[in-house]
Chain A
């Protein structure tokens, strides 16, 4: 296993920025096409009326809110994992942190679109802002949706800072390696970085503060997202387990998303020397832990409901366990529990391919989990006369597909303009104050440190 250093790191990691092939344009056009289709779908939903979506009485939340929770969940990949690994100073994190943090920012941006997409009158979304209105009307601070607004904005702001701070030295590297317009742009975003000890020290302090501050924010965000459901007196929603259950699920799907992104980057940007099998193996172990935790939460939720045997809750319970939602439910159990347990639990399968297969199962499973929390409860709420069923319509499906394309598009563009692996952190051996950061290439040799 080779450990590239110095000039080679610069060359390898700056190559995607400086050389553009036709494949890049093809990818942008491909994903961009889906994003445009999603925009058209949303536009026609506004133009023709919300009725072109599949929602109906009494199921007023479905695909859009599923996507909202799903993407906010995916966003827990990055910042949280990266912050924890930074704090425990795990050397193997160095090539992983940035691609993780980027997922957070983009997934949050996509997730935060959905509360607006799903509004009946999205042009009035600014009423959620606590702005000084001339009629002295504030948002209702008792509403979990307003808590969402504040939680997501705090998390997005924090995540962007957390992503941007360690990019400054890399912007300076690009600035120094490039010419013309590119040089002028990167000079601005490098914020006058010269690499003096004082600047390094300030960056380190800022990163430390952000890493500590972002963890409680990340945990609170998904707890508050779970409050959207658990605060309402709806069967199978009104439960105290939802906070930790959602946080665990979010980290779970986040790791899966990160593993898929890393595998794709490794293959297409030829980063085999930087993203080693050990990174996948370590994250795969984390995935295994979260799969067990997820199974534990689901077991708790289900058993308590079953034992309590309340008629309203048992109606929803059997809907998912045995009746119309059972195929989706057991697919979810397979993808979220059986598959990762087998693939990540047996050392022989804990390869890059194994990790990607398990992660795909988890991503599908976690999307289904959110759908199965939302729709069966709303469709089987108390009075049997008002039970209903739901099937998605083209508008919702196109918008859902478009979000995945949007994620891919943003990722492609990001990898084009910013080194996807933190150059200076990899080269930390050249750091002027090695006390602050143990060099990756010396004490914490890639591959030797295990979780």
Chain B
């Protein structure tokens, strides 16, 4: 049984935001429009956080892509009264939209603020409504949605591998963000396979996890900047 995880190399991330766009396109994340976005209703399952160090003009900017960390001890899971937020056997932190009644408790309990509430029914600025992904269900008003590690691609690759009578190869599954990252900062893979690239990077001495001290045991490793 695989245990999906990711490694994010902060040395490679240049904050271009391609991962954010790819995530929106792949996962049918509705665009809420400029007014609503200004009110804090934008839903970026993956966001690039920018932090500045030092005083002008000697400023250094650090980018950190933050997505659902698919925690092994996820604070969002036990608090959901309806099991909409739950743990899959492959270690994914899954959200069943149809089961969500919108208490938003999970979003409050998430230390990373990686969960997003749908304040309205989904809509897209034209012509984005023409590029919806048929593999991903739409979310109605009143539910919470979040990064799935592109579970539709994981399942698709597993079905394909099974049909061909083989296991899933390392690197065969690419979430939209990792696929579109021009500098290959995001690496996805099976953390239980010691040979996988994601697993090797996660064990790197540069690696650390975000807000590890909350006890959430996240599965996204961040490789510290050296340059």
Contact = CB atoms under 8 A, between A and B. Distances in A.
Interface of A: 48-51, 55-58, 60-61, 115, 118-122, 124-125, 127-128, 137, 139-140, 142-146, 149, 228, 231-234, 378, 381-386, 388
B103 A50 contact: no
Interface stretch (B2-10, B12-20, B109-117, B195-203): B109-117
B91 interface: no
B111 A120 contact: no
A121 B142 contact: yes
A120 B101 contact: yes
A381 B120 CA distance: 25
Given A50-B117, A51-B41, A383-B66, A128 B82 contact: yes
Interface stretch (B73-81, B126-134, B167-175): B73-81
Contacts of A128: 81-82, 101
Contact of A139 (B81, B119, B141, B216): B81
B124 interface: no
Contacts of B109: 232-234
A49 B32 CA distance: 13
Interface string B79-103: 1111100000000000000011111
Given A145-B103, A146-B81, A383-B66, A61 B108 contact: yes
A51 B105 CA distance: 17
- For the complex, would chain A's binding face be called helix, strand, loop or mixed by DSSP majority? loop
Contact of B104 (A60, A140, A144): A60
Interface in B8-52: 36, 39-43, 47, 49-51
B39 A56 contact: yes
Nearest to A58: B113
B33 to A, nearest CB: 11
Contacts of A234: 108-109, 111
- List the 6 closest A-B pairs by CB distance, nearest first: A120-B102, A120-B142, A51-B119, A56-B40, A60-B104, A385-B49
B224 interface: no
10 contacts: A56-B41, A57-B41, A119-B102, A120-B144, A128-B81, A143-B81, A144-B105, A234-B108, A383-B211, A384-B51
Given A120-B100, A383-B49, A143 B80 contact: yes
- For the complex, would chain B's binding face be called helix, strand, loop or mixed by DSSP majority? loop
B22 to A, nearest CB: 20
B220 interface: no
B142 A50 contact: yes
Nearest to A49: B120
Contacts of A388: 40
B214 A231 contact: no
A385 B50 CA distance: 7
B120 A51 contact: yes
Contacts of A386: 49, 112-113
Interface in B160-202: none
A338 to B, nearest CB: 32
Contacts of A60: 104, 107-108, 117
B118 interface: yes
Contacts of B107: 57-58, 60
A378 B108 contact: yes
A120 B116 CA distance: 12
Given A55-B119, A233-B216, 6 more contacts: A124-B101, A144-B105, A231-B79, A233-B214, A234-B109, A383-B210
A56 B118 CA distance: 10
A383 B104 CA distance: 19
A140 to B, nearest CB: 5
A50 B79 CA distance: 21
Contacts of A127: 81-82, 99, 101
B157 to A, nearest CB: 29
B223 interface: no
Nearest to B83: A140
B147 interface: no
A334 to B, nearest CB: 29
Nearest to B117: A60
Contact of A119 (B36, B43, B101, B116): B101
A67 to B, nearest CB: 15
B218 to A, nearest CB: 12
Contacts of A385: 47, 49-51, 66
A382 B101 contact: no
Nearest to A377: B108
B104 A57 contact: no
Contacts of B117: 50, 55, 57, 60, 120
Interface string B137-153: 00011111000000000
A137 B98 CA distance: 13
